[in-house]
Chains A and B, each alone.
Chain A
Amino acid sequence: MADFDQELDARGLNCPLPILRAKKALNDLGDGQVLRIMATDPGSVKDFEAFAQQTGNTLLESNEDNGEFHFLLRKNG
């Protein structure tokens, strides 16, 4: 498993809360640091891709494991 600097548990939350919580968590991270997000909202898969693309952060990983979605998001700038 890849390294990360902080973890966000967004399980049980629905759109748009996982994205909003992730944005907030990223604010506390430094450039190049990685946030791991756990979610159960199936819509979050597309949404984290779209979020990364529009904010210039990098989605390093997006996995599904037993109905849970895990993302690794690297903060850029």
Chain B
Amino acid sequence: MADKKLAIIATKGTLDWAYPPFILASTASALGYQTCIFFTFYGLQLVKKKLDLKVSPLGNPGMPMPMGMNKWFPVLGTTIPGMEGMMTTMMKQKIKAKGVATIDELRDLCVEAEVRLVGCQMTIDLFDIKRDELLDNIELGGAATFFEFAGDADVTLFI
């Protein structure tokens, strides 16, 4: 039987949204899927050599905040300078405390499992991203490159 195939488009560049593509891709590989992730727009943050991902409570009413802050804290409070840094630090502490993998770790596992990583050339041009800011082992390509792989994929996800 031919391997199953999983194609993912990763469009988000925050610490929380970095998890689904890497968790699913690494797990799919362990299950024997051929896997490809196409990183476009803010998703390209996930293939920078040096990851600097943050999480923001701003505009995110679903985000649990420590000490019930989301209950009594005015929405405007989430715009206070330093809030993003504080929430990012707290999230990273939680991740560590609960034995959840770091994004670096999951990404390494994907690379090791030969998940195909493709960066969107158009986004790179649009945001003036330098090639050497991105992982050496990613390919660059466009929408047609994605469909070449995704065209006969068994599972396709837009994240």
Interface of A toward B, CB cutoff 8 Å: 12-17, 19-20, 23, 40-41, 51, 54-55
Check B27–A20 contact: CB distance below 8 A: yes
Check B32–A14 contact: CB distance below 8 A: no
Give the residue of B31, B101, B109 whose beta carbon is less than 8 angstroms from that of A14. B101
* B103 on the A face (CB < 8 A): no
Query: Interface extent on B, as a size class?
Result: 10 to 19
Complex Cα gap A9–B129 (Å): 41
Tell me the nearest residue of chain A to B95, going by C-beta.
A14
Complex Cα gap A28–B100 (Å): 25
Complex Cα gap A15–B31 (Å): 14
* B71 on the A face (CB < 8 A): no
Q: Which of B30, B31, B32, B98 has the most CB of A within 10 A?
A: B30
- The A-contacting residues of B in range 73-113, CB under 8 angstroms, are 98-101, 109
Complex Cα gap A15–B109 (Å): 13
